[in-house]
Chains A and B, each alone.
Chain A
Amino acid sequence: MVKEDKEILNIEDLHVRFETEDGIVYAVNGINLKLGYKRTLGLVGETGAGKTTTALAMLRLVPDPPGVVECRKLEINGRDVRDISADELEQVRGKEISMIFQDPMTALNPVFTVGEQIAESIEIHEKCSKEDAMKKAGDMLELVGIPRQRANEYPHQFSGGMKQRVVIAIALACNPKLLIADEPTTALDVTIQAQVLELMTELKEKYDTSMIMITHDLGIVAEVCDDVAVMYSGRIVEQGSLEEVFGKTMHPYTEGLFNSLPNIKNRQAKLKPIHGLMPDPTEIPVGCPFAPRCNYATEACKKAIPELKCAGGTHLVACSAYERDPEFRIDRSKKNG
């Protein structure tokens, strides 16, 4: 285990709910997350699992109202960001922690040049002159593979892949210690995705940045992450190192995700989708949220929510099947016959 003081991020018991007129949406329901320095964590799950809300809560960007964030601890680089002032928060965002948003088409401001947009955060955090900030912005552009002359162009003059590079340049401009990348390549074509992922990994290593990669693509997790946390219905259901989660999958939901993916090496293999849908976040079931869709579920699963328990090493799993039957195993090698 990593030592207490070696963590860039430490969240305990995070709950986020949105109190709307149509009822309360329980988006995140008790998440604990720790991230060591220079590590990359993949936060995996489907739409509505609470991945992005978790990330927004870390940056204190959950809109309030209707959002209500509750937690025991929300430490970034050893400092609790829950009750610091707005001014201090400005110092933290961009400098300590920054975020790459999913959609490069909407993340950029159309009426400022890309150079100005990169320079903005440099000016705030490095307290330098406009000229110096623009010069550094040019450096950042070159770093992400865009000629610095293009700093004076507007976002619409760039292609999707280039815009995402600009967004990455903004996020990395002040060498943040923690970078949150929310589906950074989902809007991009595969060949461009490959280039952007390569660039992110390279820069992360160069600047010793820790990263949380939010994605629904298990392929991307396998390519870039050290650790994985699988989210379902606002909770983490399985967590561990990449080797643990991919090599020794324990949660039935994780298994279901793998079985839903077409196997590129065996095209005859039939897909085994997870039946049903994720529970409505306004009416979370009493028991295990995955129980209604789980092939192994018993009546007991529908009564109590299983806790995330250690299953050896850093591997954690929230499934009561392992308590009922110590012999219970999920064998993914049997996958697809």
Chain B
Amino acid sequence: MTQLIQTLTDGIAVGSLYALIALGYTLVYGILQFINFAHSDVFALGAWLSFTIATWFGLAAGSGATTPPWYIGLAVLALAMIGCGIVGFLIERLAYKPLRAAPRLNVLITAIGVSLLLENVGQLEGMFRGHHFKIFGPYPKAMPALIPDRVLLHFAAVQFRLVDAVVLGTALFLMVAIQWLVFRTRLGMAMRAVSFNHNSAALMGINVSRIISATFVLGSMLAAAAGFLYAMKYAQLKQTADNVWVLLGLKAFVAAVVGGIGNIRGAMLGGIFIGLIEFFGVAYLSDKYRDVYVFSLLIIVLLVRPSGILGKATVEKV
């Protein structure tokens, strides 16, 4: 029973992170029908920006360090989101926009290129004309604690920590916000129109280019938030070119596909679902095959229901 509840809480907490990243994939896919492979790197960037900004505030990891007041954490989150939003904007403008008319495969390869670029730029550290410079550096770092390590709830032997509450709360808040933005605002309406058909949207007076940019900025900001929350929960940050980031991103992508890619509620549902599958697999089957559960689920879902749980099937016109 203890294990069940513990697994459930862990699964939901991590699942909500997946959901946040999945939203970015889904938003972009909905509008451009392409898998933004660089999205996982924006997520990594979000985590590392949070770290860098936290150190600007004079914070450091380690015992004895007191946690700063709550608004510092909020400021770190906001700055990281702004930073990633800018990067997302630049990626779209510089790398993807010139390829709007190119075959999908080309855009995908470009995305892979952008992904490699971000990973390796992130790891830069060296000398330039006698000056030492560093982006994030090639070594893992420990994230300073921004949230007091407190147990909120005891249920039998299950601990529900403040960190988990913050992760879940922030993720839920952002998901509700995105939902509101897409379905209740003019920008959201324009986004939905563009995802339906670029040409008709343009004819209706929508600036398609700007909407696409906005979508990338939005997705990147969500990824940044996920990166921040990830850094809160797992204080160890691997260097940007480490597999961990891409793998987390891939699983989030799986979440988006399982939920029905292009579908915002599907991404949220899929994220939680994937988180649960992963943690239940690890807890009850075997730790060794952590990623197998997720990818097997993906294949099964695609075979049984190719458009995902909430996705709509498309029919090609002949």
| A and B are partners in one complex rather than unrelated chains | no
